[in-house]
């Protein structure tokens, strides 16, 4: 792209203000700027104000989950099937660690956060320990794919290296980067983060599979015979990764995907809940759950939409390949975005000042034909760290870890 083409692209999306400092830049920085403009998808800002079509209440119906009782009744053979799949190398794991963790408020990647009390215990370390439970049980290494972003790739890799991968086999850990999306003010004008650099942030966890493919890792998976991927968030320090019983149940029920779910602890808990939408498995975000859906009961008097997702999914890779080119809804989220003001000074806002643009993994479920909601005990498998204190925080996660016998 030359300067004229850059100018035209900016003009097309009404972003000429980004050229404000161009003439003052060195040649190298000018080239960097032009490259960013060439690589950036500006069309996202044209979607501001055009809300994605809300899910229609009439198309929503309850989905049955596999409950704890049902799982216990069949546990041994589900577990056997899962162990067999892991031993034959059919299962990989994907750690989503590309987020910014803004609510936790640490400058480092969330996985580097130390949650220890008497000794350092890093979130990444806990995750590897959890994965080791299954590696020890099955005596088989599981390939772990770690998604990072431009903002934290180098530091994440260096951290694993420095801690010798917490004892995990180096050859079974693979890092890949997700894509970025520009960030704008409320009127859709993209911010500058430096005089030569557009403000950009990771584009949500929805694009993990295409990023994995773009990094060439699908070839590795095919070579290794991996057929299933267990995808999970960095911040749940209690979760079971590559849980054989979960994997076995999804395989035996011949589902294309599975989602670990917990019973909501109160009707307004802020978790997405599983449902059927036009007959397809789907997830309603908590802010889309209308009062009438929230209060709908089953024949036995239980809340009909009571199974919340905990961001631990199992996907069949060939089914993901079929849908990878389908567009996911774009979520436009208000965030605090650092930006250069008119004088070229970097401002770090105290409250939200604009939008980030994200796609979400939960929207992938609707593209598939089947999903098994698989109930787990929240006190044993759900300790998310979103905030420093209060709900879903370092404090609450520590308490849950201790209840589960983890020494901190």
Residues near ligand UTP (CB under 6 A) are 96-103, 110, 147, 178, 202-205, 233-235, 311, 386
In 3D space, the residue among 312, 331, 328 whose CA is nearest the CA of residue 368 turns out to be 328
Residue closer to ligand UTP (CB basis): 153 or 172? 153
In residues, how long is the chain? 408
H-type alpha helices, 40-166? 68-87, 123-138, 153-162
The answer to whether 10 and 18 have CB atoms below 8 angstroms apart is: yes
Token pair for 233: 């968030």
CB of 159 to ligand UTP, least distance (A): 14
Q: Which residues pair with 222 in a beta bridge?
A: none
CB of 371 to ligand UTP, least distance (A): 19
Residue closer to ligand UTP (CB basis): 248 or 272? 272
The answer to whether 335 and 183 have CB atoms below 8 angstroms apart is: yes
CB of 10 to ligand UTP, least distance (A): 25
CB of 82 to ligand UTP, least distance (A): 23
Residue closer to ligand UTP (CB basis): 83 or 364? 364
Residue closer to ligand UTP (CB basis): 100 or 324? 100
Residue closer to ligand UTP (CB basis): 83 or 181? 181
> Residue by residue, what is the 3-state secondary structure of 182-249?
ECEECCCCECEEECCEECEEECCHHHHHHHHHHCCHHHHHHHHCCCEEEEEECCECCCCCCCHHHHHH
Q: Kindly list the distances between the CA atom of residue 352 and the CA atoms of 1, 104, 200, 278, 386, in Å, as whole numbers in the listed order.
A: 34, 15, 15, 35, 17
CB of 6 to ligand UTP, least distance (A): 26
CB of 271 to ligand UTP, least distance (A): 12
Residue closer to ligand UTP (CB basis): 66 or 231? 231
Residue closer to ligand UTP (CB basis): 204 or 373? 204
Residue nearest to ligand UTP (CB): 99
CB of 197 to ligand UTP, least distance (A): 18
Question: Count of alpha carbons within 13 Å of 216, Cβ hemisphere only?
Answer: 0
């Amino acid at each position: 792209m030359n300067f004229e083409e850059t100018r035209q692209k900016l003009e097309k999306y009404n972003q000429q203000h980004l050229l404000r400092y161009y003439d003052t830049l060195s040649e190298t920085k000018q080239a960097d700027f032009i490259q960013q403009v060439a690589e950036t998808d500006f069309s996202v800002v044209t979607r501001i104000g055009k809300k994605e079509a809300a899910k229609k209440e009439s198309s929503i119906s309850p989905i049955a989950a596999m409950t704890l009782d049902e799982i216990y009744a069949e546990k041994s053979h589900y577990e056997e099937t899962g162990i067999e799949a892991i031993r034959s190398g059919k299962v990989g794991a994907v750690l989503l660690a590309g987020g910014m963790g803004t609510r936790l408020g640490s400058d480092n990647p969330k996985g580097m956060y130390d949650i220890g009390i008497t000794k350092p215990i890093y979130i990444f370390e806990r995750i590897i320990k959890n994965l080791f439970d299954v590696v020890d049980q099955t005596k088989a290494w599981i390939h772990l794919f770690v998604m990072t972003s431009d903002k934290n790739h180098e530091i994440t890799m260096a951290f694993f290296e420095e801690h010798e991968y917490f004892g995990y086999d180096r050859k079974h850990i693979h890092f890949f980067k997700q894509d970025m999306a520009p960030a704008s003010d409320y009127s859709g004008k993209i911010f500058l983060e430096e005089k030569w650099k557009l403000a950009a942030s990771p584009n949500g966890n929805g694009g993990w599979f295409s990023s994995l493919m773009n990094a060439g890792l699908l070839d590795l998976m095919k070579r290794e015979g991996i057929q299933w991927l267990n995808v999970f968030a960095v911040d749940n320090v209690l979760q079971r990764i590559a849980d054989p019983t979960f994997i076995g149940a999804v395989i035996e029920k011949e589902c294309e995907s599975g989602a670990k779910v917990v019973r909501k602890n109160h009707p307004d808990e802020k978790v997405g809940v599983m449902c059927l939408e036009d007959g397809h498995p789907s997830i309603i975000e908590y802010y889309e759950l209308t009062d009438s859906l929230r209060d709908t009961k089953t024949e036995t008097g239980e809340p009909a939409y009571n199974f919340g997702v905990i961001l631990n999914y199992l996907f069949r890779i060939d089914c993901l390949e079929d849908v990878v080119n389908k567009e996911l809804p774009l979520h436009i989220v208000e965030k605090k975005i650092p930006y250069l003001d008119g004088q070229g000074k970097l401002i770090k806002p105290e409250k939200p000042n604009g939008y980030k643009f994200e796609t979400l993994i939960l929207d992938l479920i609707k593209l598939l034909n089947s999903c098994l909601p698989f109930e787990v005990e929240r006190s044993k498998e759900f300790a998310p760290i979103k905030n420093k204190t209060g709900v879903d925080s370092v404090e609450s996660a520590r308490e849950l870890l201790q209840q589960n016998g983890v020494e901190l």
